[in-house]
Amino acid sequence: MIGSNAQLLQLAIVIPLGAALVIALGLPKRFGTKLAGAAFTLPALIALWLWAQYPAEGGTGYHYLSSVDLGLGSFGINLKLGLNGIALPMFLLAAIVGLAAGLFALRSQAERLKTYLLLLLIMHGGLLGVFASVDIFFFYFFHELALIPTFIMVGIWGGRDRNYAAMKMTIYLTVGAMLSLIGLIAIYVKSGANSFDLIELKRAIAAQGLGAATQNNIFGVLMFGFGILVSLWPLHTWAPLGYGAAPSSTAMLHAGVLKKFGLYGLIQIALPLLPEGAAHWAWKLALLAAFGNVLVIGFVTMAQRDLKQMLGYSSVMHMGYCFLGIAALSTLGTGGVVLLMVAHGLSVALLFMLATSIHHRTHTFDLSEMGGLAQKTPVLAAFFVAATMASIGLPGFANFWGELTVFVALWNVSPWITAVAVAGVVVSAIYGLRAAARVFFGQPTEALQRVTAAHPPADLDWVERLPALILLAALLFFGFYPKALSQPVDQALTPASTLFRSINHHR
Amino acid sequence: MSTELLKLVAGSNQWWALTPEITVACAALALLVLEIFLPKEQHRFIPHFAVVTLVMVLGSVAVTFEHAWLGEQLFGGLIKLSQLGQIARVFFLLSSLLVCFLATICLPRTRMPRVEFYHIVLVVTAALMLLAQSNHFVMFFVALETVTIGFYILVSYFRDNALTLEAGLKYLVLGALSSAIMLFGIVLIYGAVGRVEIDGVVHTGFEYGVVADFLRHNPHNFLATAGALLVLCGVAFKIGAFPFQIWIPDVYQGAPTPVTAFLAVSSKAAGFAVLLTLVLNVFAPLSAVLVPVLSVLAAATIIAGNLAALSQRNAKRLMGLSGVSHAGYLLMGVIAALSVPAAANAVWFYLFTYLLASMAVFGVMAHLAGADDTHQELDHYEKIARERPLLGAVLAVGLGSLAGIPPLAGFMGKLLIFVAAFQAHLYGLLAVAIGGVVLSIYYYFGWIKAAWFETWSLNPAGSEVSVRPVTVPSWIGRTVLTALALATVLLGFYQEPLTSWLMK
């Protein structure tokens, strides 16, 4: 049974990539869209199955392990796949958001739809691969595989400023990726394990240990490398611009899932392998995240007039909470970050999707030119308000549990920083609710009335409702039953608790 | 000389071992003979003869890849058969084959004679293969000059174009200068080593083994060190390392596109084949001097190449200058190879990925080049992706691989070199290289952007200017380009075919 589940995990990654290949080889359009639909759906079913099959006493190790040598075995690089308690929720997130983004893209009126779906499938395959990789080389490799289509999709199908946005994203994210790669190579070389396999690396480093100076250097490189990818202030400027220009499905997958790569790398690789380095940098990271990401970007978000830019900034701000949870250096904080990553991924994907639905009806992203849309499209309004509530972190949605655990963990480190972080929630409530109010309530502006007179806005049809429902259902499910996520995470983090205790003892 | 010694020398003259080189050279002569005897209307088959010969020789080398005489010295030590020599043979044959393919696209556009072109390409190929296997400075120099003289002619092949003639002259003057510098270095080494008698046989300071022995015992000999550095200067000219990269943009722009590709791939790889042999086998005892000198050279090459390429709008100059930066990364691999043996394989892996990606890009360039081969601007690539999706896709894959974007083969090449450099503790150089890679993303991506992302121009009149006739790829062209792109993608995912073969 275990063996076949391991093959299912491999299959989940191969299906989107294989479908992309078949489409690239010149499948006719009507088969292409059907195949793409299947290739978005099957990994989600597999992910759900693997999640259901995941043992309740999963422990710390990996499940569904498989290893394939692709010719670099002599360098210690094997395609080793598997899921542990931290990877499982992220894998599930990637599959769900991928399904929603794919369904939304299938019905979009994108020009050259086949190429668009092809790139989206490559991105989806890469995302699933990132979280299923045990080998840190492939962890990086799959990330890049998902990243390249992002640039292309922004450049070709993007909105305003797409050329500039694509270029800026490419350069920023390449710098970040390169720094992370150097950090990963450094771990590989310094550990002496002669392997990129994370399990081997952990064993080798536990046996001989890395010096404090080495750990500090490598963690610094990884923190800034991953930090750029996650939009750590002040290296975040690519994010709002890129998301503002990106087509909706791309923004959903990138902001929802791909961006979490850096945080996931910090939790899964940097914290367990470089604990002293983490302790060295934790305060600096906390200050940057609290005052930069949460406070400064929080106020910047309030000042946005463009709906999509506002969502881009708000996602930068929420990444601040994730960094804070990591900087707390505790099992509680780290576990909270995993919950928050899943919750934020679902809610931000939903918001980006709905923003595009709004744009279809108002023909603008400018908040000051909208208003009163709720009378014409009540279902859309309900979804948007719910997504906003989730994003703010209201109880009942998954985000609440993530933010709560992060704040509790943070209190042990510094009540002052916790106060800043909690103040951020108020800020995000202000801009979130104000945006919802501007779009859906009040009187429609003259400009909007002209548009709606020419094209009377229809409410969400089933094509748009289905992906929205999937995302919202997941948010509510994890909101009311967070144990589904927290149990595997908690078990995976058990050995880390002694690690964190020893670090905090030294501080 | 005793009879026994004569027998020994005669015994080492194993002509059969040079069958690939001899076949290629004979085919080169046969081309000229065919041109005389064949009726004029059948001259168009002559290039096919060259291609078929190359394919057959390539096949026979691949079949006999691991023969039993690897490591043996032939012709009294002029040639040494080796694993690396076999890899180099495959590389140069493959590269020449693709150059011939490019020539079949570009040459028919001009009124220049065709047969001579293939003739010279074949002669140069034979010389390149000898060069990579030379074990003696005389053999080395003769082979190198044969290559260089062939290139003098090839670079100015389109002699009705002023820029091409200028390029030819520049290459001639600077090439002669570098040859002179290298010869001076060889003479200095010869002077320092002198003649030694081992077991009754007189050896001279031309033989690699003797020079290596001498340096091992006298690592501080000034004359020999100076000689070694001068020889490396000559090699640096071939690979286009700083400060010998000055000729590259002009010559690359002026040379016909197939020749530019030949220079960019084969000439550069020949430089690295020689450099690896010289640095690892001959000059290794001088590593105290070599490592700092080569490190500075590599860093300067990466910076100079990338900075100069940033503002280029001419496709051929851009390929040239970005090629300079590739030479820098490869130099880093060579330096790493002094302490990490696996790095030499990484250099060859990189060269093969570079061959595939460059030839893919040059293949697209050959189809796009208009009547004036020197005038290939990035603006001409507008609308390519829409009108010729295949060319656009091949271009994107090739450029992406050159930029080192995963999951393409170029990324794997860079990764292996970077890992080796890290293991060799070349941290400073690595930082420069990372900066270089980021810079290179800018210009490579700019090129992809020009081909793929639609830009709307303010004046619709401007769009008329950019309408250029694109050569429609024939079925051979489509097959070759698709194969190159596919190989580049596949090697990014699955390296087994190349690594199992490189790292035996």
Cis before A55? omega within 30: no
Q: How confident is the model at residue B458 (pLDDT cuts 50, 70, 90)?
A: very low
Rounded average pLDDT over B347-361: 93
CA distance B382 to chain A (A): 13
CB contacts of B437 in chain A (<8 Å) are 174, 178
pLDDT of residue B460: 45
The CB density around residue A48, as the number of other CB atoms within 10 Å, is 13
pLDDT bracket for residue B484 (50, 70, 90): very high
pLDDT band at B468; cut points 50, 70, 90: low
Residues of A in contact with B423 (CB under 8 A): 189
Q: Which token pair is B491?
A: 């090697």
The residue of chain A with its CA nearest to that of B433 is A178
> Which residues in A lie closer than 8 A to residue B419 (C-beta atoms)?
75, 185, 188-189
Give residues with Cβ within 8 angstroms of A454, minimum separation 6.
none
Q: How far is the C-alpha of B265 from the C-alpha of B273, rounded, in Å?
A: 12
Domain count, chain A: 1
Closest Cα in chain B, distance from residue A297 (Å): 27
**A141 interfacial to chain B (CB closer than 8 Å):** yes
Task: Give chain B positions within 8 Å (CB) of A152.
Answer: 452
Type of residue found at B317: R
Buried (b) or exposed (e) across A77-91, using 16+ Cβ within 10 A? bbbbbbbbbbbbbbb
pLDDT band at B41; cut points 50, 70, 90 = confident
For residue B113, what pLDDT is reported?
81
Q: What is the mean pLDDT of each run of 10 residues along chain A (507 residues)?
A: 74 88 79 85 88 78 80 76 87 91 82 83 91 89 87 81 82 86 86 83 82 86 90 85 85 88 89 85 87 88 87 90 88 88 91 87 80 80 89 86 89 87 89 86 79 77 84 88 82 74 64
Amino acid sitting at position B468? R
A296 touches B at CB < 8 Å: no
**B213-265 pLDDT per residue, tens:** 888 888 888 999 999 999 999 999 989 888 888 899 999 999 999 999 999 99
pLDDT of A504 reads 67
Minimal Cβ distance to B445: which of A70, A167, A178: A167
Overall average pLDDT of the B69-95 stretch: 86
Q: For chain A, say whether B222 makes contact (Cβ under 8 Å).
A: no
Contact B438 A175 (CB under 8 A): yes
Chain A with chain B: Cβ pairs closer than 8 A: 76
Q: Which of residues 64-93 of A touch B (CB under 8 A)?
A: 69-72, 74-75
Tell me the CA distances in angstroms from A359 to A159, A282, A354, A433, A444, one per residue in order: 12, 41, 8, 18, 15
**What DSSP letter does each residue of A351-373 carry, written as one string?**
HHHHHHHHHHHHS--BGGG---H
Domain range spanning residue B178? 3-502
Nearest CA in chain A to B446: A167
B198 pLDDT more than 60: yes
Please report which confidence band the pLDDT of residue B455 belongs to, taking 50, 70 and 90 as the band edges: low
Could you tell me the pLDDT band of residue B88, with boundaries at 50, 70 and 90? very high
User: What residues have CB less than 8 Å from B411, skipping those under 6 apart?
Assistant: A144, B401, B404, B405, B492
What is the domain count for chain B? 1
Q: Nearest Cβ partner of B438 from A156, A163, A171?
A: A171
- The predicted structure's pLDDT at residue A414: 85
Where in the sequence is the domain holding A495, given as residue range(s)? 2-506
| Each residue's pLDDT tens digit, B287-329 | 888 999 999 999 999 999 999 998 888 889 999 999 999 999 9
- Residue A185, chain B, CB below 8 Å: the answer is yes
Mutate to test the interface with B, among A127, A138, A141 (most CBs of B within 10 A): A141
The β-bridge partners of B198 are: B201
Contact: B449, A155; criterion CB under 8 Å: yes
Helix (H) or strand (E) holding A104: helix A87-106
Distances (CA, A) of A441 to A373, A375, A438: 7, 8, 6
Cβ–Cβ < 8 Å for A474, A96 = yes
Nearest-by-CA chain B residue for A190 = B423
Question: Distance (Å, rounded) from C-alpha A146 to C-alpha A133?
Answer: 14
pLDDT digits (tens, 9 = 90+) for B385-415: 777 888 888 998 999 999 888 778 888 899 8
The reply to whether A189 touches chain B by the CB within 8 Å rule is: yes
Burial of A68 (0-12, 13-18, 19+ CB in 10 A): exposed
pTM of the model: 0.82
Q: Which residues of A touch B415 (CB under 8 A)?
A: 181
ipTM above 0.85, yes or no: no
Range B76-101 average pLDDT: 90
A194 contacts: CB under 8 Å, gap ≥ 6: A76
B422 and A170: CB-CB below 8 Å?
A: no
On the question of pLDDT at B469 being above 80, the answer is no
Rounded to the nearest angstrom, the minimum Cα separation between A188 and chain B is: 9
The proportion of chain B whose per-residue pLDDT surpasses 90, expressed as a percent, equals 43
A179: chain B residues, CB-CB within 8 Å = 434
Token pair listed for B193:
């080593």
> At residue B1, does pLDDT exceed 60?
no
Report strand pairing: B73-74 vs B195-198.
unpaired
**CB interface of B with A, residues 361-400, below 8 Å:** 400
Q: A181 and B415: CB-CB below 8 Å? A: yes
What's at A181, amino acid-wise?
L
